[in-house]
Structure 1
Amino acid sequence: MKHYDAIIIGFGKGGKTLAGDLAKRGKKVALIEKSNQMYGGTCINEGCIPSKSLIVQAGTKEYQAAVEQKENLITKLRQKNYDKLAQLDNVDIIDGTARFIDNHTVEINGKDNISADYIFINTGSKSVIPAIKGIHETKHIYTSDKMMKETKLPQHLAIIGGGYIGLEFASMYARYGSHVTVFEFNERLVGREDEDVALEIQHILENQGVHFKFSSRVQEVSNQGEKVVIQYNQDHVGYIDRFDAVLLATGRVANTADLGLENTDVQVDQRGNVIVNDYLQTDVPHIYAMGDVKGGLQFTYISLDDYRIVKDHLFGNKTRTIHNRGHIPYSVFISPTFSRVGLSEQEAIAQGYDVKVAKLPTAAIPRANVDGKPEGILKAIIDTKTDAILGCVLLCEHSEEMINFVQLAMNQNLKYQDIGNHIFTHPSMSEALNDLFNI
């Protein structure tokens, strides 16, 4: 049985970065990936990059051509990720399914065993398949990764789930020309956001042609010819609609079911997430978990920061933890992009802060009008006692770039006046922060 310094299960952001780092330190590493179509991880192959490629091309390119360009892009990136590690003498890239035999041993493809001093679980997450009658037997029902591989644009698309992923796809497919209907179980969109922001998002998407069915629960799906028949209840009344395709956007769950963790002392929670401590160690100190598989925020940049925590714990001064990352921003790539960092207004009030709220319509930004993108709203939450920035929402073009500036200011404990008085270039979207924070 071959022994390594480290086994890394999964070729995601945290795992691949750690593999390269360990190899350069002279450590012998086995990097196990179950599919040669997943080198680089979910972000490159099935998540962030392909979806953003399609989003960027929406409205400017025919759908089939956009899918082909997306496939060319991720094929190139996948190969670059493989080559970057394969050229290292200390890294063995192993194609296969990994399963734990015990706390030190991993079986590959049910036959070959390898062992290591350290093992890192980086297997990511997968789409949740909801318990809907007929869901497994019905054709033309897709998860997000499968949907993006389809080269035919559905004329009528149903999306089950009005969360962030569902909204990204709703906005994107509507701009390609699909008639999109979103089935949302709750009474409004994105419940963790303030109601005024959620309503603004809803109105923008409705203007793009997206139709929402709130307080709806899909009961059954079936096929009628090439159509998908959806039976659902809305406000306790039964309805039937027909679509060309259905996208499941009902959340994601950790990829742990087939890892054989029952053969180890590693513990998982009720959702299957690997339980870790502040340093990403499991209950077995030499086994760590990184990225989506441990639950929490599911972003590729969190997986990268997990690598930094592990590196510091193994080779540094052990000061980095999951609790001192600072404020973490996120962006939802509807059109225009929705970005947020920190607390919402409702969260700040619930935590006992005395707040003042600043709002700015995107239409008031000169650059937004130059670009012909006036939709949206900007919102800041300020602590009246300390002038600290508690949170910020940016619903405007290029907000995915702007939010990082606000995050940096918050992490450096700057006051809102520091942004309000900052000198920005003109005409730019960022200069809108002058007006937003000029309270």
Structure 2
Amino acid sequence: MKQYDAIIIGFGKGGKTLTAEFAKRGWKVALIERSAMMYGGTCPNIACVPTKRLIHEAEKASWLNLQTYEQKAEAYKAAIARKNEMTAASRANMYNKLSSLPTVTIYTGMASFVSPNVVKVALPEGDIELESKKIFINTGSTSIIPAIDGLKESKRVYTSTTLLELDTLPRHLIIVGGGYIGLEFASMYAGFGSKVTVLEGGDKFIAREDRDIANAVKEVLEKKGIDIRMNARAQSIHDTADGVTLTYNNAADGTPYYVEGDAILIATGRKPMIEGLNLQAAGVQVDNHGAIAVNGYLHTTSPDIWAMGDVKGGLQFTYISLDDFRIIRDELFGNRQRTAEDRNPVAYSVFIDPPLSHVGITEEEAIRRGYSIKVSRLSPAVLPRARTLQQTDGLMKAIVDEHSGRIMGCTLFCAESSEIINTVNVAMKTGQHYTFLRDFIFTHPSMSEGLNDLFDID
């Protein structure tokens, strides 16, 4: 049995960063990844990076004003090839960077616990057991596959992972699920020239957002030709000679409908990747959602095993996995001041076109909590930078506590919002009065200077 100072299961953001940190300190580290195609984790291989690359490629394709399906399909195929080249180079770079460290050994195989300090790795040449007093789980998440008749038999059903491998542009893409992943793909494929139909099972479009923001997003997506159908509960899928048919019921009255396309994306959410880990053998418990239960320092119910990133539930963002690394580093080598409870507010961005970004609480949530608030709204169309970019769609919104002047929340549905929201987040994190942003000197013309007007609330 091979002995290590640390075993890390999963080559994700937190895991690979922790590996490098331990190696810098002379620790002997085993890093286990189930697939050679996932060196680096979900983000650079099948999620954040390749999807944002394709979103950018879709925007470029839309500028070309291609007329025929053949022209659009050729542009899409070339974009997929460039995306594949990028991810392959990134994967190789991250593998080489860590494998070159003298105290790091990378194992490519399935990991499962034998005991709280022993992990078995299934390798092509046979199983091997590794032992360590410190083990870190960073296995990420995987797509939730709903129970729809005919789904498993269909050859035209994809997840957000497998659709990125398809180099033939769907003429008509049907998306089951109107959440953020589904909407990013809807915006992307509409940009490439696909007809897109989104089936959302609920009666509220992007339910976690305020209704004015949700309505603005829906209006922009529909202007792109995206067909959004609410209360649509998928019932069955069957392949045809040249496509696929999905039947669904209206959840409100039970009326049956069907839609025909040539590809279906299942975007009904993601769940923690714990399959095969044999967590019971390590005394690691999961919660009601199948996520590994952790405390504020990311310890599992087995005291010398930690969990990082998506597998522990909560916000599924790469930057949360990176912050998990910081918490563990601080506990092991610092002053134990960082915990998972003290990192709010956390911003997020949805990379539709234009991107939707948010931090803090919404207006509806503030009202439910009984706060006295001031609300400000601003159309991006009034900003010179938005006009120069020819991206005037959207809505900017800020929520401020009426008594303290504290910024409680901000939603930016506008060009470059994924950058601007970080400025708002810094102001909130440092406890700035809203006038800090109202009176700040921004460059001109820039989208950021819109914060001057957005926070001119009095």
TM-score category, normalised to shorter length: over 0.9
Q: CA RMSD in A?
A: 0.8
Could you tell me how far 1:226 is from its partner in structure 2?
Answer: 3.2
Q: Is 2:220 aligned against 1:204?
A: yes
AA at the equivalent of 2:134:
Y
Could you tell me how far 1:181 is from its partner in structure 2?
Answer: 0.3
CA contact (8 A) 1:11 1:33 kept: yes
CA contact (8 A) 1:337 1:399 kept: yes
- Summarize the alignment of residues 101-180 of structure 1 with structure 2, pairs less than 5 Å apart: 101-109=114-122, 111-180=127-196
In the aligned structure 2, how far is the partner of 1:197 from the partner of 1:240?
Answer: 29
The answer for the alignment partner of 1:317 in structure 2 is 335
The answer for the alignment partner of 1:56 in structure 2 is 56
Q: Is 2:315 aligned against 1:297?
A: yes
Q: Is 2:457 aligned against 1:433?
A: no
Q: What is the DSSP-based 3-state SS (H/G/I as helix, E as strand, rest coil) of the residue aligned with 2:247? A: strand
Q: Is 2:326 aligned against 1:308?
A: yes
- Summarize the alignment of residues 15-414 of structure 1 with structure 2, pairs less than 5 Å apart: 15-61=15-61, 62-109=75-122, 111-234=127-250, 235=252, 236-414=254-432
> With structure 1 as the length reference, what TM-score do the two structures score?
0.99
In the aligned structure 2, how far is the partner of 1:59 from the partner of 1:423?
Answer: 31
AA at the equivalent of 1:352:
G
CA contact (8 A) 1:257 1:272 kept: no
In the aligned structure 1, how far is the partner of 2:403 from the partner of 2:201?
Answer: 39
In the aligned structure 2, how far is the partner of 1:148 from the partner of 1:226?
Answer: 21
Gapped regions of structure 2 (runs ≥ 5): 62-74
Could you tell me how far 1:91 is from its partner in structure 2?
Answer: 0.4
In the aligned structure 1, how far is the partner of 2:162 from the partner of 2:422?
Answer: 31
Could you tell me how far 1:269 is from its partner in structure 2?
Answer: 1.1
Deviates more, 1:219-228 or 1:41-50: 219-228
Deviations 1:312-331 (A, max 9, x none): 11111111000111310000
Could you tell me how far 1:153 is from its partner in structure 2?
Answer: 0.5
Deviations 1:364-392 (A, max 9, x none): 11100011000001000000010000000
Q: What is the DSSP-based 3-state SS (H/G/I as helix, E as strand, rest coil) of the residue aligned with 1:189? A: coil
Could you tell me how far 1:188 is from its partner in structure 2?
Answer: 2.6
Deviations 1:323-354 (A, max 9, x none): 11131000000000100000000111111110
In the aligned structure 2, how far is the partner of 1:257 from the partner of 1:361?
Answer: 46
Deviates more, 1:105-114 or 1:1-10: 105-114
Could you tell me how far 1:224 is from its partner in structure 2?
Answer: 1.2
> With structure 2 as the length reference, what TM-score do the two structures score?
0.95
CA contact (8 A) 1:134 1:220 kept: yes
Gapped regions of structure 1 (runs ≥ 5): none
Could you tell me how far 1:270 is from its partner in structure 2?
Answer: 2.1
Identity over the aligned pairs, expressed in percent? 50
In the aligned structure 1, how far is the partner of 2:106 from the partner of 2:277?
Answer: 18
In the aligned structure 1, how far is the partner of 2:186 from the partner of 2:204?
Answer: 15
AA at the equivalent of 1:92:
T
Q: What is the DSSP-based 3-state SS (H/G/I as helix, E as strand, rest coil) of the residue aligned with 1:108? A: strand
Deviations 1:151-195 (A, max 9, x none): 010001100000000000001101111110000011131101001
Runs of 4+ residues over 6 Å off in structure 1: none
CA contact (8 A) 1:200 1:377 kept: yes
Q: What is the DSSP-based 3-state SS (H/G/I as helix, E as strand, rest coil) of the residue aligned with 1:82? A: helix
Deviations 1:54-99 (A, max 9, x none): 0001142411111111111111111111111111001001111000
In the aligned structure 2, how far is the partner of 1:88 from the partner of 1:97?
Answer: 22
Q: What is the DSSP-based 3-state SS (H/G/I as helix, E as strand, rest coil) of the residue aligned with 1:347? A: helix
